[in-house]
Amino acid sequence: MTRAVERAAHILLALASGTPRLGVSEIAELVEVPKPTVHTVLRTLERQGLVVQEVGGGKYALGPAVLRLGNAYLDGSQLRARSASWTDTLARQTGEAVWVGVLSGDHVVVVHHALRPDDLVQILEVGAAIPWHTCALGHAIVACLDDATQKALLTAPARRLTGRTVTDPEALRQALVTARERGYAVEDQAATLGDAGLASPVSDWSGRVVGAIGIVGPVERLLTPAGRRVRLADAVRSTARALSRDLGAGR
């Protein structure tokens, strides 16, 4: 039973990995499970609404029941609930969009998004999954994890999203050391050309890092001039400390 649940979880995560629709053969290759077994698991997941199949026996995609699970997680997230007022304040203070993220496997999932305080059209990014090594949120979280978890993430293959994405394990390790020492992480166009991010870790009452909070925006606004970057980073770091205290962390 445990093995069946593990396989179902791997299949769902494969369908959530970035390619919206996958065939049985593609899924079998990704999760390293025989095709007949994948087909059986998919049929079970389909009956529960967790996956859907294209008309005519085509490829599979995540189903509507997954949205129910996601909404239930967001509704029960203390980090998300406590962050609402802090993110709004940080957005007004910096003039930038604010994200709160948690680590899920080797990706950061955005659980809350405070929109930039202007009248321009913006896309709500709640639910977006970003490779940890390509965002400031990911660096801020991973910098505070134990050595074994860090090593596992650093030795896993790192996908290049832009020409500025850092994938070298040693360079990433050094970036994590720097982020931990100064209390905030910097992302410079590693996920999307033209965009940057600044983020700091958030802890709960036990001292465990449960996520990160940060600002995202055009690189020319966040990282230059250097003096403005320092002021923005101080604001992010202070907000992360305040949010952590709100979750019960000590001073």
pLDDT tens digit sequence for 210-234: 999 999 999 999 998 888 999 999 9
Contact 147, 211 (CB under 8 A): no
Number of domains in the chain: 2
Lowest mean pLDDT: which of 31-35, 93-97, 99-103, 166-170?
31-35
Are 63 and 82 in a shared domain? no
Query: Which helix (H) or strand (E) covers residue 154, if one does?
Result: helix 147-155
The residue among 190 and 2 whose pLDDT is bigger is: 190
Average per-residue pLDDT for the chain? 91
- Distance CA(196)–CA(219), nearest Å, equals 5
Q: Is the pLDDT of residue 208 over 90?
A: yes
In a domain, 251, yes or no: no
In the predicted model, what is the mean pLDDT of residues 127-142? 95
pLDDT over 70 percentage in the chain: 99
Q: Which CATH number covers residue 57? A: 1.10.10.10
Are 134 and 201 in a shared domain? yes
Q: How far is CA 69 from CA 9, 103, 109, in A?
A: 13, 17, 14
Select from 38, 68, 98 the last residue of a domain: 68
- Distance CA(8)–CA(64), nearest Å, equals 16
In a domain, 94, yes or no: yes
Are 9 and 121 in a shared domain? no
pLDDT at site 198: 98
Contact 65, 71 (CB under 8 A): no
In the predicted model, what is the mean pLDDT of residues 73-100? 91
- Distance CA(6)–CA(234), nearest Å, equals 42
In the predicted model, what is the mean pLDDT of residues 24-30? 87
Are 113 and 210 in a shared domain? yes
**Residue 187, Cβ density class (10 Å: 0-12 exposed, 13-18 middle, ≥19 buried):** buried
Beta bridge partners of 211: 202
Are 159 and 206 in a shared domain? yes
pLDDT at site 233: 96
Contact 155, 148 (CB under 8 A): no
- Distance CA(46)–CA(61), nearest Å, equals 10
Are 128 and 238 in a shared domain? yes
Q: Which of 7, 101, 6, 16 is nearest to 67 (CA)?
A: 16
The predicted-structure confidence for 136-176, as pLDDT tens digits, reads as follows 999 999 999 999 999 999 999 999 999 999 999 999 999 99
Are 54 and 167 in a shared domain? no
Q: Is the pLDDT of residue 115 over 80?
A: yes
Are 107 and 198 in a shared domain? yes
The alpha carbons of the chain give a radius of gyration, in whole angstroms, of: 19
- 241 pLDDT band, cuts 50/70/90, is very high
Are 136 and 109 in a shared domain? yes
Q: Which of 244, 233, 245 is nearest to 198 (CA)?
A: 233
| Three-class DSSP category at 66 | helix
The residue among 246 and 57 whose pLDDT is bigger is: 246
Q: Is the pLDDT of residue 249 over 90?
A: no
DSSP at 54: -
In terms of residue numbers, what domain contains 21? Answer: 2-68
In the predicted model, what is the mean pLDDT of residues 234-247? 96
- 1 pLDDT band, cuts 50/70/90, is low
- 19 pLDDT band, cuts 50/70/90, is confident
Q: How, if at all, do strands 195-203 and 97-104 pair?
A: unpaired
- 98 pLDDT band, cuts 50/70/90, is very high
- Distance CA(135)–CA(128), nearest Å, equals 12
Are 168 and 241 in a shared domain? yes
- Distance CA(134)–CA(77), nearest Å, equals 24
Q: What is the pTM of this model?
A: 0.85
pLDDT at site 32: 87
Q: Is the pLDDT of residue 76 over 80?
A: no
DSSP-assigned states of every residue in 18-31: S-S-B-HHHHHHHH
